[in-house]
Amino acid sequence: MTDHGSTAEQGATSRRATIWGVAEAAGVSHQTVSRYLRNDPKMRPQTADRIRRAVAELDYRPNLAARSMRTRRSGRVAVLLPAVATYGPPQILSGVMEVAHEHGYTIEAFSVEGSSTERFERVLEIADSGQVEGVLALAPLPPASEHRFPERAAIVASADYDDQFRGVGELADGSPVTDIVEHLAELGHRRFLHVTGALDFASARGRRDVFVETVERLGLGPALVVEGDWTAEAGRDAVLALADEGHPTAVVAASDVVAAGVVQGARERGWTIPGDLSVTGWDNHQLGAYLEPTLTTVHVDHRKLGRAAMARLVATLRSEPAPPPPELPLNTIIWRGSTAPPRA
């Protein structure tokens, strides 16, 4: 026997509740329900309570797309990420999410392959969809993108990567190499080697150039440089190629991965770290703190980049002045057990 009443009831409840259905159940107008959904502080408590019960009974969920088209506020922002997975973007996104949540926004992340122009076209589509209040681009866009404001959303571009998703700007700042070389010189080192990353990266060129300038300025030349490619093999091969006599006592590697190769090459030659060779890396890879000896490195605060970028978008959305840049440095040297005075 079929229960027609139950079937009809299921059909009714399977249909999405509307604002008019809530209004009818609460005995008010749909405009009053709309005021309730906007948290109108002037609404009478008795009216708000009736609407609250109707919303719960009908399991009503506001249509965010429709509401955002009316109010131009959705409480959501989109974040464009580089399509190539690297260590930095997840950390940057963590900082973005922190600031977004602090200001009541939710995040929708997406990535787009192709040229900066193709990415910008996709950004414009998302910005003009009415689904988000703003778009934060952590992947590169055309130079004129920053001040393009579609009808419904603001666009802010954080220029931390070039068009091939290689770090630029602060991410390419090699100035910590100066402090590394100067400190190692104070410990007594006089012969230095730098193993670079791939030199099509601005960050690799920046670290190399600062290394050469510092070594020459301190009168510790010649500045020995071996071109690498961010791999451990490059670091290992550079050390295995060194002469037995008069070899460098300190190696400044372009990354922690390169530094791991340097350590391996030194051990294959029977050299100790840091007795025969002090080694430094870059990136503060989490395994560096657990090597034997622990690896001196440079910590790059990608999270701080994300926080600063999202703060700019929030200020833009609220028509406020751009926030000042973070006071603390992006790069911090972490001195560990892989560096020490050279063996006499």
Task: Mention every residue, 6+ apart, whose C-beta is less than 8 A from residue 194.
Answer: 177, 207, 208, 211, 212, 223, 224, 225, 226, 251, 252, 253, 254
Average pLDDT over residues 29-41: 78
Cis peptide before 329 (omega within 30 of 0): no
CA–CA dist 172, 238 (Å, integer) = 23
Q: Is residue 34 part of a domain?
A: yes
Whose CA is closest to 92, among 299, 310, 288? 310
**Residues 28 and 119 grouped into a single domain:** no
For position 34, what pLDDT does the model report?
76
Average pLDDT over residues 73-78: 80
**Residues 286 and 207 grouped into a single domain:** yes
Residue 79 pLDDT greater than 60, yes or no: yes
Find out whether 333 and 119 touch, Cβ atoms under 8 Å: no
Q: Is residue 68 part of a domain?
A: no
Token pair of 90 as six digits: 């997840």
**Residues 143 and 42 grouped into a single domain:** no
**Residues 290 and 188 grouped into a single domain:** yes
Which range has the top average pLDDT, 24-38, 45-59, 159-173, 263-277?
263-277
Which of 165, 196, 231 terminates a domain? The answer is: 165
For position 148, what pLDDT does the model report?
59
Residue 137 pLDDT greater than 60, yes or no: yes
Find out whether 317 and 75 touch, Cβ atoms under 8 Å: no
Give 253-285 pLDDT, tens digit per residue.
999 999 999 999 999 999 999 999 999 999 999
How big is the chain, counted in residues?
344
> What confidence category does residue 9 fall into, taking pLDDT thresholds of 50, 70 and 90?
very low
Provide the percentage of residues in the chain whose pLDDT is more than 90: 42
CA–CA dist 246, 194 (Å, integer) = 16
User: What CATH number is attached to the domain comprising 177?
Assistant: 3.40.50.2300
Average pLDDT over residues 176-197: 97
- Would you call 164 helix, strand, or coil by DSSP? coil
**Residues 155 and 276 grouped into a single domain:** no
Residue 239 pLDDT greater than 90, yes or no: yes
- DSSP-derived pairing of the beta strands 134-137 and 76-81: parallel
Q: Tell me the CB-side half-sphere exposure of residue 273, using CA atoms within 13 A.
A: 27
For position 5, what pLDDT does the model report?
44
Average pLDDT over residues 292-318: 91
**Residues 203 and 279 grouped into a single domain:** yes
| Higher pLDDT among residues 165 and 209, named by residue | 209
Residue 144 pLDDT greater than 90, yes or no: no
CA–CA dist 152, 172 (Å, integer) = 34
User: What CATH number is attached to the domain comprising 21?
Assistant: 1.10.260.40
For position 260, what pLDDT does the model report?
97
Average pLDDT over residues 291-304: 93
> What confidence category does residue 164 fall into, taking pLDDT thresholds of 50, 70 and 90?
low
For position 265, what pLDDT does the model report?
97
For position 69, what pLDDT does the model report?
47
**Residues 227 and 243 grouped into a single domain:** yes
CA–CA dist 232, 257 (Å, integer) = 5
Q: Is residue 316 part of a domain?
A: no
**Residues 129 and 205 grouped into a single domain:** no
Residue 63 pLDDT greater than 70, yes or no: no
Across the chain, mean pLDDT equals 84
For position 338, what pLDDT does the model report?
98
CA–CA dist 91, 86 (Å, integer) = 10
Average pLDDT over residues 6-28: 68
Q: Of 117-131, 169-183, 228-242, where does mean pLDDT reach its minimum? A: 117-131
For position 4, what pLDDT does the model report?
44
Q: Domain of residue 36: give its range.
A: 4-62
**pTM reported for the whole predicted model:** 0.71
Find out whether 129 and 76 touch, Cβ atoms under 8 Å: no
**Residues 188 and 157 grouped into a single domain:** no
